[in-house]
């Protein structure tokens, strides 16, 4: 039986994983970083204090792995800033990107609930700040906080819808539609509340996530801008009509 940590116990070692330089660089979260954790507000005061004591953050460099296939899930992770991608192991089969993980996203709760190893890789597409809540604290919240459990249920339900939509995107042949639907998925207000209306992403990064060349992504973005759905800005894309992106069909 797993022993859960209590609020008066000292925090476990920061993001402990001897194979990961990312976790060895972990530190306590700043106040500004804590403000970027959307589920903190649903917790009671004692629960919030416990989380703040145990939560760790670290800066992931481009190409660095936050999660690796086969490693034990010891933390619930969230993106404070930057952009990650979830993918399979491309060394043994065709490389597949499952989804992008932008600011505000928290992921891996399903793996933690089952106390399993990761079945996917999470890799930084750009320099990113990542937060991690230890498994013991995650289990502690599950055992005592009804609002936290409701938050997780909503997360899991929305993620199921997201992956059903991702299967549909993979089967679309029109590149403009794929880019439109892929962009809309990254502006999910529940799963990615930190994005807002402007997503900091390059055309190359978007191409990695959707499976298209940078040149074809550029063409699709300009077509979507021409019909008033988005505006291309320096360093990112601003959504003007999220519903239009989700239901986009080529003329």
**Which CATH number do you get for residue 73?**
2.60.120.10
Which residues are registered as beta bridge partners of 133?
76
pLDDT exceeds 90 at position 17: no
DSSP state at residue 68: -
Q: Please indicate, yes or no, if residue 128 is contained in any of the structural domains.
A: yes
**pLDDT band for position 211 (50/70/90)?**
confident
Q: Please indicate, yes or no, if residue 2 is contained in any of the structural domains.
A: no
**89 with 43, same domain?**
yes
Q: Please indicate, yes or no, if residue 212 is contained in any of the structural domains.
A: yes
**75 with 119, same domain?**
yes
**28 with 129, same domain?**
yes
**114 with 201, same domain?**
no
Least confident of 32-46, 167-181, 193-207, 225-239: 167-181
d(CA 225, CA 85): 25
pLDDT per position as a tens digit, 117-165: 999 999 999 999 999 999 999 999 999 999 999 999 999 998 888 777 7
**pLDDT band for position 18 (50/70/90)?**
very low
Predicted pLDDT at 4: 30
Domain boundary among 105, 123, 156: 156
What is the CATH number for 211? 1.10.10.10
Reported residue count of the chain is 251
Domain boundary among 156, 187, 217: 156
Residues whose CB is less than 8 angstroms from the CB of residue 151 and which lie 6 or more positions away in sequence, other chains included: 39, 42
Distance of CA 92 to the CA centre of its chain: 24
**67 with 149, same domain?**
yes
**54 with 176, same domain?**
no
Q: Mean pLDDT over all residues of the chain? A: 86
Q: Please indicate, yes or no, if residue 14 is contained in any of the structural domains.
A: no
**150 with 232, same domain?**
no
CA torsion 212→216→221→227, rounded to 10°? -120
Domain containing 95 equals: 21-156
Q: Please indicate, yes or no, if residue 165 is contained in any of the structural domains.
A: no
Q: Please indicate, yes or no, if residue 12 is contained in any of the structural domains.
A: no
**77 with 191, same domain?**
no
**96 with 187, same domain?**
no
**186 with 78, same domain?**
no
Q: Please indicate, yes or no, if residue 242 is contained in any of the structural domains.
A: yes
**124 with 148, same domain?**
yes
Cα 199 to Cα 84, 95, 226, distances in angstroms: 13, 24, 18
Q: Please indicate, yes or no, if residue 10 is contained in any of the structural domains.
A: no
Scored b (16 or more CB within 10 A) or e, 106-134 reads: bbbbebbeeeeebebbbbbbbebbbbbbb
Cα 239 to Cα 124, 144, 231, distances in angstroms: 23, 39, 6
Domain count for the chain: 2
d(CA 12, CA 3): 13
**pLDDT band for position 92 (50/70/90)?**
low
CA torsion 57→58→64→70, rounded to 10°? -40
**47 with 107, same domain?**
yes
Other CB atoms within 10 Å distance of the CB of residue 76: 23
pLDDT exceeds 90 at position 9: no
* Secondary structure of 113-155 in HEC code, one letter for each residue: HHCCECCCEEEECCCEEEEEEEHHHHHHHHHHCHHHHHHHHHH
């Amino acid at each position: 039986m797993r022993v859960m940590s209590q609020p008066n116990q000292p925090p476990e070692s920061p993001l402990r994983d001897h194979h990961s330089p990312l976790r060895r660089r972990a530190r306590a979260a700043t106040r500004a970083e804590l403000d970027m954790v959307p589920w903190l507000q649903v917790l009671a005061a004692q629960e919030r204090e416990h989380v703040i004591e145990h939560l760790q953050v670290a800066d992931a460099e481009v190409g660095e792995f936050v999660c690796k296939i086969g490693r034990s899930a010891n933390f619930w992770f969230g993106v404070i800033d930057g952009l990650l991608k979830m993918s399979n192991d491309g060394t043994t089969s065709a490389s597949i990107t499952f989804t992008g993980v932008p600011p505000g996203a928290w992921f891996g709760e399903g793996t933690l609930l089952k106390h399993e190893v990761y079945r996917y890789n999470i890799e930084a597409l750009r320099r990113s700040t990542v937060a991690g809540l230890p498994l013991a604290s995650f289990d502690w919240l599950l055992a005592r906080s009804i609002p936290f459990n409701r938050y997780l249920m909503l997360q899991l339900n929305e993620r199921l819808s997201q992956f059903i939509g991702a299967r549909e995107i993979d089967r679309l042949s029109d590149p403009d539609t794929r880019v439109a639907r892929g962009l809309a998925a990254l502006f999910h207000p529940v799963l990615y509340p930190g994005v807002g209306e402007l997503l900091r992403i390059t055309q190359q990064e978007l191409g990695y996530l959707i499976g298209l060349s940078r040149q074809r992504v550029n063409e699709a973005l300009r077509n979507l801008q021409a019909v008033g759905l988005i505006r291309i800005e320096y360093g990112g894309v601003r959504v003007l009509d999220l519903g239009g992106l989700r239901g986009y069909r080529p003329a």
